[in-house]
């Protein structure tokens, strides 16, 4: 079994633990290939010509990820030119969006003071969400961005970094990104043994085109914040969802479940948890380091089907 990265979502966090969104359940983040029509996403005081393609790309990216650092937004949305040119364009872009109250910059910087402005964390304001069609009459109330607890912030930024790594990989033409869903768009709900509804909460769902195959994966980004009993319960929920057959009925395949973590020691602990699972778990679970995420997601044998 290959090594993989552990999930880092804090255990049993409440709404007060992640005040990035007051309405997480009501919000469906935007995803690649699912951007609202231009006439819908450029709303209110914004005409179709008031936002450039690059500005819309930044807003849509934040709609997908919820939060991202300046350097992550640079990697995703300003990839042309020299590194100095990219940094300058990104600063100007984010300053402009901030002045127009389309994005909110959190006080905390990822990477400390030396990270400079590129380490600041950004999210969509209510106005920014309106600009890309999030919320409104059919989407529940829009979320507000406040300060959030460090553990949750670190986890969201780690998922954003996974997304950056995947996008970097697609630029080498080795594979194609077909879908990327972060929380809560990646979640699944299914009936339990007594008819109760059970919610499975992957950190992300990724579908890649690799040659003639599509490879789909649920992803758990583990930052070693959860005990092994919590990891075991999460794995058992995946197995219960596998046995329900709902994913296979809807999509023709059950995705692999990739645990991605930060150290070899932590990966070994997760691997030990997986060994205690029923035999059927062996064909869906893998564990590896976050630094090997792209390799894990593109080479795993499970969760694949002919395109």
Nearest residue to 55 (alpha-carbon basis) of 88, 98, 20, 84: 98
For domain 153-306, give the CATH number: 3.40.1350
Rounded to 5, what percent of the chain is helix, strand, coil?
A: 45, 20, 35
Q: Mind listing the pLDDT tens digit for each residue in 148-199?
A: 788 899 999 999 999 999 999 999 878 999 999 999 999 999 999 888 999 9
**Class of the domain covering 19-148:** mainly alpha
Determine the Cα–Cα distance for residues 22 and 20; give it in Å rounded to an integer: 7
pLDDT of residue 117: 64
pLDDT of residue 173: 75
Assess whether the region 19-148 and the region 153-306 belong to the same CATH fold: no
Higher pLDDT: 39 or 46? It is: 46
Q: Global pTM?
A: 0.80
Asked if pLDDT for residue 1 goes beyond 80, the answer is no
Q: In this structure, are residues 271 and 3 in contact, taking their beta carbons and an 8 Å threshold?
A: yes
Which span out of 126-130, 132-136, 148-152 was modeled with the highest average pLDDT? 126-130
CB proximity list for 266: less than 8 A, separation 6 or greater: 6, 222, 224
Strand partners, 122: 68, 105
Phi, psi of 103 (to 5 degrees): -130, 155
Q: What is the DSSP letter of 184?
A: T
Please, which pLDDT band fits residue 119 given cuts at 50, 70 and 90? Answer: confident
Q: Where are the domains of the chain?
A: 19-148, 153-306
Higher pLDDT: 73 or 138? It is: 73
pLDDT of residue 187: 97
């Amino acid at each position: 079994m290959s090594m993989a990265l552990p999930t880092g979502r804090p255990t049993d966090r409440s709404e007060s633990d992640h005040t990035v969104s007051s309405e997480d359940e009501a919000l469906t983040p935007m995803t690649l290939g699912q951007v609202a029509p231009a006439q819908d996403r450029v709303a209110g005081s914004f005409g179709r010509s008031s936002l450039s393609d690059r500005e819309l790309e930044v807003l849509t990216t934040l709609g997908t990820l919820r939060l991202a650092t300046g350097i992550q937004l640079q990697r995703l949305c300003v990839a042309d030119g020299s590194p100095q040119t990219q940094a300058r364009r990104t600063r100007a872009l984010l300053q402009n969006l901030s002045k127009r109250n389309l994005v909110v910059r959190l006080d905390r910087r990822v990477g400390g003071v030396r990270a400079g402005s590129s380490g600041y964390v950004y999210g969509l304001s209510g106005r920014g969400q309106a600009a890309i069609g999030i919320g409104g009459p059919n989407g529940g109330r829009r979320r507000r961005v406040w300060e959030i607890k460090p553990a949750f912030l670190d986890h969201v930024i780690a998922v954003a970094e996974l997304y950056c790594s995947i996008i970097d990989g697609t630029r080498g033409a080795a594979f194609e990104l077909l879908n990327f869903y972060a929380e809560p768009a990646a979640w699944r709900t299914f009936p339990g043994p007594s008819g109760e509804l059970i919610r499975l909460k992957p950190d992300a769902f990724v579908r890649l085109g690799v040659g003639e195959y599509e490879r789909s994966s649920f992803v758990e980004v583990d930052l070693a914040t959860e005990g092994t009993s919590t990891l075991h319960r999460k794995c058992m929920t995946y197995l219960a969802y596998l046995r329900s057959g709902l994913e296979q009925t809807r999509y023709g395949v059950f995705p692999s479940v990739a645990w991605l973590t930060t150290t070899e020691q932590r990966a070994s602990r997760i691997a030990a948890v997986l060994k205690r699972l029923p035999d059927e778990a062996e064909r869906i679970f893998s564990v590896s380091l976050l630094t090997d995420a792209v390799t894990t997601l593109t080479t795993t044998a499970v969760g694949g089907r002919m395109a």
